[in-house]
Structure 1
Amino acid sequence: MEIVEKRPWLKKYPEGVNHEVNPEAYKSLIDLVEKGLSEHAASEAYTFMDKTMSFSELDQLSKDFAAYLQGLGLQKGDRVALQMPNCMQYPIALFGLIRAGLVVVNTNPLYTPREMKHQFKDSGAKAIVVVANFAYNLDKVIADTDIKHVVVTQLGDRLGFPKKQIVNFVVKTVKKMVPAYSLPGHVMFNDALKIGSSKTYKRPEVKNTDMAFIQYTGGTTGVSKGAVLDHKNLIANVEGISEWFKPKIGVVKDPTILGALPFYHIFALTLNALSGMKLGFHNIMIANPRDQPSLIKDLKKYPVTIFPGLNTLFNALANNPDFQALDFSKLKITIAGGMALQKFVADGWEKLTGCPIVEGYGLSETSPVLSCNPVDGNQQIGTIGIPFPSTMMRILKDDGSWAEVGEVGEICANGPQVMSGYYNRTEETEKVFTKDDNGDLYFKTGDIGMQLESGYFKIVDRKKDMILVSGFNVYPNEIEDVIVDHPGVLEVACIGVKDERSTEAVKVFVVRKDPNLDEDTLRAFAKENLTAYKCPKHIEFRDELPKTNVGKILRRALKEEEEAKAK
């Protein structure tokens, strides 16, 4: 009775879904991976550009890659960066790293050299697997990092003859998407697999508490921080996902999941790759979800059971006549994350597909899922659902006391999926944790929300000043730090403004040092130094910026001006 009073949401759990999970269900992710590879050996694991790889093939190839990495002299706990879009090579490399006992450092392949350099240096990565399209950026920074081993792959490398040759030729020669690079001593991905196949794989001794991933996330200081996720963190979330989906896919044979979200992002990493390994998902990998004709073509060939996505993706597809003509009879679960789900989008999707969207919530620091709407029809649109199994969520008020139901404050969470801290950042780690009266440690998400009478949680505001662009967090300090480096800029302030397509867009207000500085010049400078979604969509030049009496720029005042204009 006491448990239910403290966790009223337990009454909302679907029948058969356990309230608790065992984060020690496996000794390590290696055990989870090897069990999944064995249990689902005969099933299809990944399909990319119509080429399918079975779990049995993935078993051998990931083992070969693990043996190759061990042959380089890499030891358990060494960090290795993965910098690839969704393609067949990603799961081979991912599970190869895990099986070798190495720490995975996922990196967005669209990062600029400046952003890449920070993460490579900060993590101390000793090796990298990079897609050829972006190797030129690595070429610019590798000398300033600890990276000694480079594996390069072309997009079509695992597609077989003749498709491999055709795709790689088109990407490199026709579309000219592979700028020239020089990385002396690099090894091509297929050659690495061949070398590994001649070596003996040695299974390392790995504990639950050993580091498994350094998953980078934005920081309010403008510095990207690496969330340290151990094996137990990820196992706990995989076990939670398995429980949560049980009412819908427990009886589905060979469930198929759409892999449109990037696997280097924590959402798809845990849901598609790791949970897919345990549950035997057949992942339909999509390199570019913005290419709607290709995405819809794949969905027609491979009807999916599970459809993870973002509000913007659901909205765009639901308004596409070709998507409307698809057969949705196999679709059991549609799950939204990354950004707020709009009611009109949710209603339109359910009317079209017959499958309601369940919205969840989480962060890189929490592996990622903290809460989700139930999949049994009890979802409440506009909320982030109820806490996951073994997860406690509370609201912390500004005065440091814990809020009652209906009171607003910072969402805090305690659970086995919560990170141990930020890599090599003790001070930053201490800032995001607090203890309750019982001494239990809670992670402070920075998001402002409330618990409803029903036990469901609702976000009422986001982290102070953070900008949400198509599900990606953008931090104003980072944008300002880049823009102010331009010699023609004296001062800059960055805020987010409403945008119908991407929830918010980046806007900067600039005081010029050089009166001849124009928008085109500043945009080009931003493009050189920032990933596309971080680049300012709006630039406004001003003679001065609003400030406090001590000279601090008032972003809030600028935000209020923009909100007033929009009314």
Structure 2
Amino acid sequence: MAVNMIAETPFDTVAACIRRHAQQRPEALALADDERALNYAELDALMDRIAAALQRDGIAPGECIATCATPSVMQAALFLGALRAGVVVAPLAPGSTPAALARMHEDAQARRLFDDEDLARLDAWLAPPGARPAPVEIRPESPFNIIYSSGTTGEPKGIVQPHGMRWAHVKRGLPYGYGPQAVTLLATPLYSNTTLVVFFPSLAFGGAVVLMKKFDARRYLEIAQARRATHTMLVPVQYQRLMAVPDFEAFDLSAFRMKFCTSAPFSAALKADVLARWPGALVEFYGMTEGGGTCILEAHAHPIKLHTVGRPAPGTDMRLIAEDGRELPAGSTGEVVGHSPGMMVGYHRRPEATREAEWFDASGKRFIRTGDIGRFDEDGFLILLDRRKDMIISGGFNIYPSDLEAALREHPAVAEAAVVGVPSEQWGETPVAFVVRRDGHADEAEALRQWLNARVGKTQRLAALHLVDELPRSAIGKVLKRELRELAQTPTSSRSR
């Protein structure tokens, strides 16, 4: 019934869906973590008490609260209760510096910040049991949340996502087997859009969501087996660590129906390994927190397209543009832009940044610029080449770091690799690599550099290669290339090619 209702409803709210599940299936599990669990009746009642408390405190619809906490049932309930009151939520990353948190809190104009200590004492703040909030009107254009960008390329920006965008994400889940029997295991934080694009559909369709406070590969497998998990969202580095667990095959993962991935490059070899050894389908989403274009790769259905990120989702219009903003013809390579029913309102209080993120076609249709360089193959699958900001221009030639990273990973000693451009008096920029070696391998940096340089074009040769214990990453697995550039700022002027 819930699936049919969602399919036929142009717009609804996640909070309203939870209310219906509480009325129809009150005892069904809704949320769980290591310490607490709530059925749908309990979650619905808690959301009412949270919404009523926010209204009591004078926080009006459209105003904002912030959270800065580890994933938990109570953080999730606070998020959902605020939505019922029409209050906007800005989930902030606890790992941010105090200065960055202060800036994000101020930028969001949050009326209140809830941290882990606040959530531990939330019962004292809640409205009394049985309290019901005053009804509020929520429209598709009403702001839902403010997600702050990861800051992988600079200062985080607040991305305002409306309720209509989140409902589009829910409806996008129709083919993926969500429903009352689904158990979604999540090991990424609730401040990340990566998590939320699965979290909200799971509850809207009436399934259970199990939250991990911190990702650990073996613990994840233990929970997945014990809970009979059917759905999950993981980032590529988590898939990599899970598949590397020595006794991975010893865990019963047969209940899995759907595994999702997004947020970072997902190598074809790793996709193939997941398909071969982990039951259930594998779906990769390519898109931005800002919305716009989305590509979907159903890897299990297209095993010869694992080097791509799939085809544009239904209702999505994706195109390629040149550096000067001209739309490019089929077969070209250019920046990916997209339009869809799910698009941000804009960057919070940053109209200039919003304008920079937008592109309009000749008819005035609004697209979001991804900053990614790619091309579509003959079957309409998108092949990503690199981030526009990461592309290295050396001696007038474009060098895509992803090409060099893929080549480095072919060496048996290389577990992970990242390539950045550094200043060069002779070439303008030149590529430098950072490599994490596999356990048991002692290959020297210079030997690895020479190995790669013998296999790539003259203009692609590395000026230097550094061995590191690990690559700097955001909480959802994106390599922080700006930190690597800071480590490799010494100009290179005399290295021969």
TM-score scaled to structure 2, two decimals? Answer: 0.76
Is it true that 1:231 corresponds to 2:163 in the alignment?
yes
Change (3 A) 1:453 1:308: same
**Deviation (angstroms), 1:395:** 0.8
Corresponding residue for residue 209 of structure 2? 283
Instruction: Describe the SS at the equivalent of 1:366.
Output: coil
**Deviation (angstroms), 1:537:** 6.9
Alignment partners' CA distance in 1, 2:266 and 2:348 = 32
Is it true that 1:410 corresponds to 2:335 in the alignment?
yes
8 Å contact 2:65–2:90 — kept in the other structure? Answer: yes
Is it true that 1:263 corresponds to 2:190 in the alignment?
yes
Please give the residue correspondences for 1:301-340 in structure 2 after superposition, counting only pairs within 5 Å.
301-340=226-265
Instruction: Describe the SS at the equivalent of 2:259.
Output: strand
**Deviation (angstroms), 1:294:** 2.5
User: 307, 318, 321: which one pairs with 1:382?
Assistant: 307
**Deviation (angstroms), 1:54:** 1.0
Corresponding residue for residue 173 of structure 2? 241
In structure 1, stretches of 5+ residues that fail to align are: 1-16, 133-151, 155-187, 469-473, 477-492, 503-525, 547-556
Is it true that 1:47 corresponds to 2:13 in the alignment?
no
User: 178, 185, 204: which one pairs with 2:136?
Assistant: 204
| 1:382-409 superposed Cα distances (whole Å, 9 cap, x missing partner) | 2111122211111112243222332111
Corresponding residue for residue 148 of structure 2? 216
Alignment partners' CA distance in 1, 2:24 and 2:434 = 47
Corresponding residue for residue 121 of structure 1? 106
Is it true that 1:87 corresponds to 2:84 in the alignment?
no
Is it true that 1:370 corresponds to 2:294 in the alignment?
yes
User: 435, 438, 443: which one pairs with 2:363?
Assistant: 438
Change (3 A) 1:211 1:24: farther
| 1:312-333 superposed Cα distances (whole Å, 9 cap, x missing partner) | 1112111213432111221111
Amino acid in structure 2 at the alignment position of 1:61: L
The worse-fitting range, judged by mean Cα deviation, of 73-82 and 30-39 is: 30-39
Instruction: Describe the SS at the equivalent of 1:105.
Output: strand
Query: Root-mean-square deviation (CA), in Å?
Result: 3.6
Change (3 A) 1:351 1:218: closer
Change (3 A) 1:22 1:296: closer
User: 112, 119, 132: which one pairs with 1:153?
Assistant: 119
Change (3 A) 1:255 1:305: same
Change (3 A) 1:198 1:101: same
Corresponding residue for residue 346 of structure 1? 271
Alignment partners' CA distance in 1, 2:24 and 2:389 = 46
Higher relative contact order (CA 8 A, sep 6+): 1
Instruction: Describe the SS at the equivalent of 2:110.
Output: coil
Change (3 A) 1:38 1:537: farther
Corresponding residue for residue 192 of structure 1? 125
8 Å contact 2:181–2:207 — kept in the other structure? Answer: yes
Change (3 A) 1:39 1:65: same
Alignment partners' CA distance in 2, 1:541 and 1:410 = 27
8 Å contact 1:318–1:324 — kept in the other structure? Answer: no
| 1:458-498 superposed Cα distances (whole Å, 9 cap, x missing partner) | 21111403999xxxxx9x9xxxxxxxxxxxxxxxx9x9844
Instruction: Describe the SS at the equivalent of 1:314.
Output: helix
Q: How many residues align?
A: 424
Amino acid in structure 2 at the alignment position of 1:294: R
In structure 2, stretches of 5+ residues that fail to align are: 392-400, 403-417, 421-428, 439-471
Amino acid in structure 1 at the alignment position of 2:125: A
Is it true that 1:67 corresponds to 2:52 in the alignment?
yes
8 Å contact 1:255–1:281 — kept in the other structure? Answer: yes
**Deviation (angstroms), 1:362:** 1.6
Please give the residue correspondences for 1:547-566 in structure 2 after superposition, counting only pairs within 5 Å.
none
Corresponding residue for residue 168 of structure 1? none
Please give the residue correspondences for 1:456-467 in structure 2 after superposition, counting only pairs within 5 Å.
456-465=381-390
Amino acid in structure 1 at the alignment position of 2:169: N
Change (3 A) 1:71 1:332: same
Amino acid in structure 2 at the alignment position of 1:278: A
**Deviation (angstroms), 1:343:** 2.1
Alignment partners' CA distance in 2, 1:238 and 1:91 = 17
**Deviation (angstroms), 1:57:** 1.0
Instruction: Describe the SS at the equivalent of 1:269.
Output: helix
Change (3 A) 1:75 1:330: same
**Deviation (angstroms), 1:430:** 0.9
